[in-house]
Amino acid sequence: MPETIFSKIIRREIPCHRVYEDERVLAFLDINPIARGHTLVVPKEPAATLDQLSDDSAAALGRVLPRICRGVLAATGATAFNLLQNNGTIAHQAVVHVHFHVIPKHAGEAAKAGGAGLGIQWPARAIDHAEAGQLAERIKALLERP
């Protein structure tokens, strides 16, 4: 995997506003927040996308994500948030090192002052049950066993 800005942040070669750190995970404030409190949660393992991450790093992330979300909410006063995780350039991933965005959703005056947070387009369509049944079976068959 190519070196990224997050590798340098993890190695403390570039400063950041750290909010959490353990052996496997680092969390820090996004340098261009779309809402006040916008936080990035990053595994120290250098995997490009979530599907390439080891089970151990995934477990470490899963263990601390809710706690970090609670901290962000408590510190900002937000009561809602989005958890965003982009994988691949066409999926809006700019930094090719796995990361979760914790993005508070502020309302009213707080949104005007601190940023509106994530805007979502959700182009839903009715499911084709015949095709979906086959697809679900195919995904199930291809899932790796731990």
- Which residues are known to be catalytic? 99
What kind and span of H or E run contains 6? helix 5-10
Q: Is residue 26 a contact residue for ligand 5GP (CB under 6 A)?
A: no
- Three-state DSSP class for residue 103: strand
Among 86, 105, 110, 118, binds ligand 5GP (CB under 6 A): 86
* CA distance readout (Å), 23 to 7, 39, 62, 65: 14, 18, 14, 14
CA atoms of 50 and 120, how far apart (whole Å): 21
Q: Which of 2, 11, 13, 32 binds ligand 5GP (CB under 6 A)?
A: 32
Instruction: Report how far residue 93's alpha carbon sits from residue 99's, in angstroms, rounded to the nearest whole number.
Output: 9
**Does 93 participate in binding ligand 5GP (rule CB under 6 A)?**
yes
- Using CB under 6 A, which of 13, 23, 55, 94 touches ligand 5GP? 94
Residue 5 engages ligand 5GP in binding (rule: CB under 6 A):
yes
Q: What is the contact surface with ligand 5GP in residues (CB under 6 A)?
A: 5, 14, 16, 28-32, 40, 86, 92-95
